[in-house]
Amino acid sequence: MERHGRVGPYRIHRLIKRGGQGNVYLGYDGRLQRRVAIKIYRMPNRRSARRTLLREAQAVASLDNQRIVAVHDIIESREHLALVMEYVPGCDLGEYLEQVRPSLASVVTVGQDIASGLAVARQQAIVHGDLKPANVLITAGGRTKLTDFGIAQHDAARQGSAGSLSALSPEQCLGEALDVRTDLFALGCVLYRMLGGEAPFHSGGKLDIQWLLERPPAPLSALVPPEMDVPEELVELVMRVLSRNPQLRPGNTHEVRQVLREVKRSLPLSRDSSLLREARPCFRQDAPGDIPLEIPTALGSASRSRLSRAGIWSSWLLWSWPRRLFASLALLGLVATPVVIALQERETIVHIDAPVMEWRGAAQVPEEVSAAWLVEQAKRVLGRELGNIRVRGPIGATPDTVFRAGVNGDPGEPVEKLQIQLQCSDGLCAFAVGRDREGQLRYRQALLLDGMTLEQWTAIVSEATAALYD
């Protein structure tokens, strides 16, 4: 073990959280200049169990959705496994619920985000298996992301294994097979606690296994404050997903998402987007002096990346070997110009209007925020969502990003058009972004509060822009 260690190429800064399955650290990726969260697990002794853990980690890394914390890398040594993940500044839902009685709008936002993440996992036959408030992260943009698929089951037919004692379903207690209905039961527990103020099946602050297996939870309608004005259909949905028999629960996330969507439509506009306002006082503060005590030395000196071999490596081969081959053949005069032109045509032409920026009062905005900065954030999101892009517009188009003329000299029409607006008044900024693709218009907005850091601005602006592509 060593102090001030590394995990592969990632430098460890401090401890974020201790957990039963492994500790989570704040790290830094110097190559991409970004902070990361690193969770370190101890490898099982049995070879078959090690292979299973690696397979499940690689399966979780394949999940690509803004409602799921992204896995950037998997670092393996003989005794440890480290998941290098997206760092989400903010707090988890458990920390939030310890201090706040959420509004109905916040309950709906959390429920929708979790259900969306579970829908993506179900498409890959992945069961979270440990869905609890501590594994739901609230972002700086006032939305949530699922994390810690630590016991995720890539094979839905496998026998269930027990997750955290606070997030058990009846089928996990009985060792039965797990599927999406297990995660929906856990979602029901989360919604029950948010609406009713206490967790179901709990007595004296602890899960009562006998109650879980033999009796239904206390009626939610008796716990919800009258002023919350919770629709009856939402109460009925929560009680249904908490059925002991998995066959009585919805078989997928569709019904859950539909009910939550209808509830959201019924909310007054002033109550929609309350999660950020309620959660902001709970956000964790950076503590640079909080240095981790123990980091496995082998993860820094004798480790290897399993994700790069499984995903990034194969992707590099797919795109690099043709280019290297063509470069070699070009030296021999064996590659004609039309082949090069064909390779360059894998691009989407995007026009970004100059952002409209208005100040109607005093607001504490990071000094880096400008029209050019807003365009740069949009370009980064477009690159992730659309792949190879060529940007045109009055600002933000460098020689590397400006579109090239076609073979006939005609520059062509942009496929995407983006409009960006930032309006600031006393203590508050409103960010808005619109997308026009072949006449199809979409619009997203987000609020930024006084005194937010540049990192928080980046997260919120990027998330709102990415939402155009949901």
Which residues are identified as catalytic?
130
Backbone angles phi, psi at 348, to 5 degrees: -115, 125
CB-based contact 112:264 (threshold 8 Å):
yes
The three-state (H, E, C) secondary structure of 333-386, written as one string: CCCCHHHHHHHHCCCEEEEECCCEEEECCCCCCCCCCCHHHHHHHHHHHHHHHH
> In terms of C-beta density within 10 A (0-12 exposed, 13-18 middle, 19 or more buried), how is residue 102 classed?
buried
DSSP 310: I
- The tally of CA atoms less than 13 A away on the side-chain side of residue 411 is 11
Tell me the torsion sign for CA atoms 71, 75, 81, 84.
negative
Report the C-alpha gap between 65 and 243 in whole angstroms.
29
Beta bridge partners of 126: none
Q: b or e along 194-213 (b: 16 or more beta carbons within 10 Å of the residue's beta carbon)?
A: bbbeebbbbeeeebeeeebe
Q: What token pair was written down for 288?
A: 């640079």
The DSSP string of 28-63 is EETTTTEEEEEEEEEPPSSHHHHHHHHHHHHHHHT-
Q: Nearest-CA neighbor of 85 among 76, 101, 99, 74?
A: 74
Q: Cβ distance 96 to 114 under 8 Å?
A: no
Residue 127 DSSP code:
B
Token output for 227: 């002023």
d(CA 304, CA 301): 9
Strand partners, 130: none
Do 310 and 16 form a contact (C-beta atoms < 8 A)? Answer: no
